[in-house]
Structures are given as structure tokens and as C-alpha cells.
Amino acid sequence: MSQMFALLLVMVILYLGDLVSVRTKAWIPSVFVCAVLFLFGYWTFFPQDIVSRAGITPVVAVMLMYLLITNMGTLLSVPELIRQWKTIIISLAGIAGIMVTVFVVCMLMFDRNTAIVTIPPLVGGIVSAIIMSKGAASAGLVDLSVFAIMIYVMQGFAGYPLTAIMLQREGKRVLQKYRSGEWQETVAGTPLPDKTSGAADNAMPRLFGRMPAHYNTSYFKFMRLAFVGWLAYLVSGWLAPVVAVSPFVLCLLFGVIAASLGFLERQPLQKANGFGFAVMGLMLFIFDTLNRATPEMLLRLLLPMLVLIAAAVVGMFIVSWIVGKMLGVSMEMAFAIALTSMYGFPADYIITNEAITALTKDEKEREVLTQHMLAPMLVGGFISVTMVSVVLAGIMVGYIIPAV
């Protein structure tokens, strides 16, 4: 199979996943569709190394992870997070609920390695799933390497519909109070700017303010991202004799610092027109892991996967409801915020806007609902998927016990 034909095949699969997701309004996650098609391909006519043949080798995927995680760090805006302090507490509480329930269930029904590999993907997205999958594979745990990816693929089936239901109920409650003149905002927040906008802004970051803007080329943005990623790699190596810290965790931290100091602008990867390609490469790397999955293995993993996803949902619901009640946030809104850990951006943005559109066509009412629901949902996803899950994965991957 030629490189370009392999690339064409995997691109068709990624597009079909998007197509089904759009047609079903994300009720059928694109990653599920892609995973099923990749499995069908691997079990029939795909070569086992189709992703590498298409050009996305493990070395390329790791490079893209460095760039993407550093880029994630630049999204942190301290003023926005301060305004959303209740959201942050609820999001962290939901993560704690996932960790406790999944760990307890694993120790009762499965084993310690299953708990370690499962928790980061359940509170995050593609990056944490890759970190845990690679860690399990390096430890000789092939089943768990595939399991980390399957958790990432399947958790949207719980997260998407439950979030839609919670937001619909919350929106109806808000509209009822608004229409009767009783509505008072209880979840602080000005909606965050749409993260898909502003890509055309080519202004120099603060440290390079004296340089003309036309020198801020795509290569200059890539160069600065690579420099920050290289620093993270170096510091991780320096710390290794004392404490094991994943370079990906440091990429996130250094991205925050670099953006705060004015070395990086917000979302440099998007502004360098490289974000879409980077995500595409990582998605293909995710599905490349499925080439080791046999029908027998999937049957073995099905029960643990369903049990642990259900345990995670129950854990985050109980804890987010209790914490939300203490903070004066409704059960529906608190649970919706906690559920963002199962998908993150852009699904949180899409689901919230679809819920608002379904509830009302009145512009003023839409503004009230957007003001109330959008910012907490975006911040919740940012805290869990972008920040906490990467840190958790970077820490927990070091505790995987290798196969004997």
C-alpha cells in the first residue's frame, strides 16, 4: 500500500467520523465511529502499520504532543479563572469523585494497574489517553494499553447525552425564572471568548513588542513553541534523579509561564495554522493503538470499560451535587460542569450552544442562557481536560507496575 493511498484511507475515516457526529448532533461521538472503522480495517484489509505508512510515525506523534500541550498552557487566563472560582471547585470535586469511585471499584473487581491506567483518560482527553496508553505498552500491558484508548473512545456516550439533558433542564429552570421576573445570576461569569476565533491576530507577544508584526511568521511561532517544549524536556531530565516528572506536565506549566511572560501569545499553534494538523496526527496515533486489539481482547475489556465509566459518572454526580449545593449552584449545572471532563473543548461549546438553540429563539433569552451556562462549561472543560488530566497522567504513569 502506497503512502498516499494509506493517507487517503485514514483521512476518509476521520471525515466519516466527523460527518456522523455532525449529523447526529454529537450524540454519536466521532471518535467512536473512527474507532469502529479502524478496527474493521485492521481486522480485514488494513496493514498493521497503516498510520506509519501514511506518515504519522511515533516520533512525529510525540513531537505533536509537545507542541499541543505547550499550546494548551497558553490558554490559561488568570482573570477568567478567578471569575469562575465556583466552576473550578466543582470541576475539581467531580475529578475527585471519579478518582475515588474508580479506584475503589478497581480494587474490588480488577487491579491497581487498571485503576492507574483508567483514571487519567476518564478525567481528560486525547493527550492523557496517549500518555497512559504509551505507559501501559512500555510496561508490557497490551490489554491496558488498548483499554486506555477504548475508555477515551467510549466515555462520550455517557458524557454527551447526560450533559445535554442537564443543560436542557438547567435552561428551562433559568427561563422560567427569567420570564417570571425572578431570575438572578448565581454562577458568575462573562462568557469566554470563542476559542476558534482570533486566529488571524498576528500581533507580537509582549517580549517581542519592538519587533514589527510582519516578522511574527508561522515559523517564528513554531520556533518559540519548540523552544518551550525543549526546555520542558531538559528540566524533566534534570529532575529525573530526584523526582520523576513527565515532560508533558512541564510543557503545560511552561506554556502557562511563557504566555504570562509574553514569550508566547495565546493559541500560537492555531495562529501558525498548525493546530488542525497536530490534532489530526494525534488522533491517528490514538487509532494506531487499536492495531493490537483483537475481538477476543475487546470482549475481555467490555465489562471493565462499562463498569468503570458508570462508576465515574456516579462518583462525579454525587460529589458535584454535594459541592454545588454548598456553593449555591444547581444540581443540573454542577453535574454538567463535572461532565465536561469526559470530552472538553470543543464539545462543551457545541453542546451548550445546541441546548440554548433548542430552548429559545428569543435573542435576549439566549443571551441570558449564554451568560449563565457557556463560561462555566468552557472553564470546566479547560480545568479537567486541558490541565488536571495531563498532570494526573504525567504523575500516575510512573506508578504502573510492569508485567512480569
How crowded is residue 127: how many other Cβ atoms within 10 Å of its Cβ?
26
pLDDT of 106 = 92
Which DSSP string corresponds to 244-295? ---HHHHHHHHHHHHHHHTSS-SSHHHHTT-HHHHHHHHHHHHHHGGGG--H
Q: Is the pLDDT of residue 201 over 80?
A: no
pLDDT of 200 = 45
pLDDT of 310 = 92
Closest to 342 measured CA to CA, from 377, 373, 300: 377
Distance from C-alpha of 170 to C-alpha of 336, rounded to nearest angstrom: 9
Q: Average pLDDT, stretch 156-175?
A: 85
Q: How confident is the model at residue 142 (pLDDT cuts 50, 70, 90)?
A: confident
Residue with the bigger pLDDT between 201 and 65: it is: 65
Q: Is the pLDDT of residue 193 over 70?
A: no
Q: How confident is the model at residue 191 (pLDDT cuts 50, 70, 90)?
A: very low
Closest to 220 measured CA to CA, from 263, 252, 258, 253: 263
| Residue 324: all three cell numbers together | 454545588
pLDDT of 80 = 66
| Residue 139: all three cell numbers together | 510496561
pLDDT of 158 = 81
Answer whether 380's CB lies under 8 Å from 90's CB.
yes
Distance from C-alpha of 383 to C-alpha of 394, rounded to nearest angstrom: 16
pLDDT digits (tens, 9 = 90+) for 40-55: 998 898 998 899 999 9
Say how many CA atoms lie within 13 Å of 75 toward its Cβ. 24
Lowest pLDDT segment from 140-149, 180-189, 241-250: 180-189
Q: Is the pLDDT of residue 253 over 50?
A: yes
b/e per residue 160-183 (b: at least 16 CB within 10 A): bebbbebbbbbbeebbeebeeeee
Q: Is the pLDDT of residue 246 over 80?
A: no
How crowded is residue 51: how many other Cβ atoms within 10 Å of its Cβ?
28
Answer whether 352's CB lies under 8 Å from 166's CB.
no
Q: How confident is the model at residue 227 (pLDDT cuts 50, 70, 90)?
A: very high
| Residue 322: all three cell numbers together | 454535594
Q: How confident is the model at residue 219 (pLDDT cuts 50, 70, 90)?
A: very high
Lowest pLDDT segment from 109-123, 137-151, 184-198, 280-294: 184-198
How crowded is residue 105: how many other Cβ atoms within 10 Å of its Cβ?
21
pLDDT of 288 = 84
User: What are the phi and psi torsion angles at 83 (to 5°)?
Assistant: -65, -25
Lowest pLDDT segment from 55-64, 137-146, 189-198: 189-198
Q: Average pLDDT, stretch 227-238?
A: 92
Answer whether 403's CB lies under 8 Å from 137's CB.
no
Say how many CA atoms lie within 13 Å of 181 toward its Cβ. 0
Q: Is the pLDDT of residue 276 over 70?
A: yes
Residue with the bigger pLDDT between 34 and 228: it is: 228
Is the whole-model pTM more than 0.85? no
Residues 6 or more apart whose Cβ sits within 8 Å of residue 240: none
Q: Average pLDDT, stretch 164-191?
A: 75
Q: Where are the beta strands (DSSP E) in 135-208?
A: none
* CA gyration radius, the chain: 21
Percent of the chain with pLDDT over 90: 23
Residues 6 or more apart whose Cβ sits within 8 Å of residue 135: 117, 397, 400
